[in-house]
């Protein structure tokens, strides 16, 4: 076979997206140019790599094999780039960062400070849900991933850098808004707006209520923090969210945090990567920045020092 790196790069993008259009957009190529590269690659291997069923694209058996090896080759090329950048001193390079949607409430402030110190670094930020983050970790797609509870059973290196308190929110005129030390049992009479299954917040909510023998009366299932906040303001139920998402609503008195026994649920934010991953100097610098400075930069009212995290079930 006579394959080119360009053909493999185009194939990897199409196989990952299962879309010629999205691959063309990512690679800044025309769709006909992408199709031509795939045709040339299929001619070289003498096997079809994609099945076209209607408007959908599927990998053939040969396509699955080629995808595996194209990813391995891409990883080796990226590692080569990282080693070269390391030899240059680590002041330049690219950081591919993927974060949970809640993290995006504070990530820009941290990235702003980091970019002031390293102005020649190019950062790619992907804000997505927990399911996608877990897939990216498994496929080694991002340099670093920031989210809540690390997945169990994965060969990961995870460091806690900041507390992530989960609180119960209500509209200011809710009957429980002015009460102190509300018993947990009172919550069985309330309807909760919950995140989609698989989200870290949803999992923490269900575990907490189950551990305390409280029945969670789940109303609407909502796919974003913003939608939960808007729905709580509209009186559709209570919500349980990270306090990091609520700064504006609390300041404007659009929402209040209920004083409930056992709350807040104190969890942590983690920065993580595959244990065997060879971090570039840029990724090492950003990880060190998070672990040593993020908590103080975002919460200057707290005592200086690292974050001590216990295992989170």
> What pLDDT score was predicted for residue 90?
55
Domain boundaries, the chain: 5-76, 91-162+268-298, 163-266
For residues 69 and 75, give the distance between their C-alpha atoms in angstroms, rounded to a whole number: 10
For residues 113 and 148, give the distance between their C-alpha atoms in angstroms, rounded to a whole number: 22
136-152 residue pLDDT tens: 998 888 999 999 888 88
Strand partners, 51: 58
84-117 residue pLDDT tens: 766 565 566 789 999 998 899 999 999 999 999 8
> What pLDDT score was predicted for residue 89?
58
For residue 130, is pLDDT > 50? yes
> What pLDDT score was predicted for residue 216?
85
Asked, colleague to colleague, whether 91-162+268-298 and 163-266 share their fold, the answer is yes
Choices 1.10.340.30, 3.40.50.10790, 3.30.365.10, 1.10.10.10: CATH for 5-76: 1.10.10.10
Do residues 105 and 246 touch, judged by C-beta distance below 8 A? no
**Topology adopted by domain 91-162+268-298:** D-Maltodextrin-Binding Protein; domain 2 (3.40.190)
Confidence of residue 168 (pLDDT cuts 50, 70, 90): very high
The mean per-residue pLDDT over the stretch 252-268 comes to: 92
Do residues 281 and 85 touch, judged by C-beta distance below 8 A? yes
For residue 308, is pLDDT > 60? no
Q: Give the predicted TM-score (pTM) of the model.
A: 0.65
CATH architecture under which domain 163-266 falls: 3-Layer(aba) Sandwich (3.40)
Do residues 257 and 243 touch, judged by C-beta distance below 8 A? yes
> What pLDDT score was predicted for residue 198?
74
Q: Ranked by mean pLDDT, which of 212-226, 261-275, 288-302 comes out on top?
A: 261-275
40-79 residue pLDDT tens: 999 999 999 999 998 899 999 999 999 999 999 988 888 7
> What pLDDT score was predicted for residue 298?
86
Length of the chain in terms of residues written: 313
User: Does the CA dihedral 7-13-15-16 come out positive or negative?
Assistant: positive
> What pLDDT score was predicted for residue 91?
63
CB contact set of 33 (below 8 Å; sequence gap of 6+):
24
For residue 278, is pLDDT > 90? no
């Amino acid at each position: 076979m006579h394959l080119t790196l360009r053909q493999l790069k185009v194939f990897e993008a199409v196989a990952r997206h299962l879309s010629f259009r999205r691959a063309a957009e990512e690679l800044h190529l025309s769709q006909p140019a992408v199709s031509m590269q795939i045709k040339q690659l299929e001619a070289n291997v003498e096997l079809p790599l994609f099945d076209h069923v209607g408007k959908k694209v599927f990998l053939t058996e040969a396509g699955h094999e080629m995808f595996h090896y194209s990813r391995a080759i891409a990883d080796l090329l990226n590692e080569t780039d990282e080693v070269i950048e390391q030899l240059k001193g680590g002041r330049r390079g690219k950081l591919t960062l993927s974060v949970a949607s809640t993290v995006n409430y504070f990530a820009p402030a941290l990235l702003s400070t980091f970019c002031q110190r390293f102005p020649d670094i190019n950062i790619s930020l992907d804000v997505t849900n927990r399911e996608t983050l877990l897939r990216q970790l498994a496929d080694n797609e991002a340099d670093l991933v920031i989210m809540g509870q690390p997945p169990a059973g994965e060969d990961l290196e995870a460091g806690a850098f900041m507390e992530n308190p989960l609180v119960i929110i209500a509209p200011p005129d809710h009957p429980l808004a002015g009460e102190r030390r509300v018993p947990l049992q009172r919550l069985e009479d309330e309807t909760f707006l919950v995140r989609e299954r698989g989200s870290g917040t949803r999992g923490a909510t269900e575990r907490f209520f189950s551990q305390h023998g409280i029945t969670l009366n789940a109303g609407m299932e909502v796919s974003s923090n913003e939608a939960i906040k808007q729905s709580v303001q509209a009186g559709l139920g209570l919500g349980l969210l990270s306090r990091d998402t609520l700064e504006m609503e609390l300041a404007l008195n659009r929402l209040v945090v209920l004083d409930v026994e056992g709350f807040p649920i104190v969890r942590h934010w983690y920065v993580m990567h595959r244990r065997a991953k060879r971090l570039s100097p840029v990724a090492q610098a950003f990880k060190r920045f998070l672990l040593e400075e993020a908590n103080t930069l975002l919460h200057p009212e707290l005592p200086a020092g690292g974050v001590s995290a216990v295992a989170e079930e």
